[in-house]
A and B are shown apart, each in its own frame.
Chain A
């Protein structure tokens, strides 16, 4: 039981770290929102399951926190996306010049 809880905690922390890494790596507000919200929500759920495996008598509080995160996180994300679209942030797209420069940037000959 404890080893399974530790594995769930490791999985959740890995997904949280990958979500924050996507927050660094993505080029746009909307892509960052996507990476930062979905992956971090999955990581939080896995962390809650891991804590629930460690302490089985805390399940009611953990269930309330899980329901709160699952309800408020997509609502907040959609609210930020709508606000940034209304504030005039254009979605990122690859134009022709930077598409021509992409293979040289990825090829590593710089």
Chain B
């Protein structure tokens, strides 16, 4: 495992993306804003898990990323159904 400078800069950019979407999740004015932020956060975490598989050099994290992506999709659709049925 060799970590280059380009790699460190890219990791910092991904971390900045995670922090920005957490900020939108905390101060989103309405509930759909928070659901959008949670959706973006789940996709970023999937990409981060794939990156973690590269950093730790083990293939099991790819399976974890696959299962996490599928469960995050189910959660997003469930949240969308909930806010749709809640007010109309």
By a beta-carbon cutoff of 8 Å, the part of chain A in contact with chain B is 3, 6-7, 9-10, 12-14, 16-17, 19-21, 23-24, 29, 32-33, 36-37, 40-41, 43-44, 47-48, 51, 54-55, 58, 61-62, 64-65, 68-69, 72-73, 75-77, 79-80, 82-84, 86-89
Q: Is the CB of A10 within 8 A of B9?
A: yes
A69: contacting residue among B7, B11, B13, B46, CB under 8 A: B46
Contact residues of A: prevailing secondary structure: helix
| B6 touches which of A10, A21, A64 (Cβ 8 Å) | A10
Instruction: Give the contact-size bracket for chain B.
Output: 35 or more
What are 13 A-B contacts with C-beta separation under 8 Å? A7-B6, A16-B14, A20-B16, A23-B21, A32-B24, A43-B47, A62-B62, A68-B66, A76-B77, A79-B81, A83-B35, A86-B84, A87-B32
Given contacts A13-B10, A13-B13, A20-B18, contact A44 B66 (CB under 8 A): no
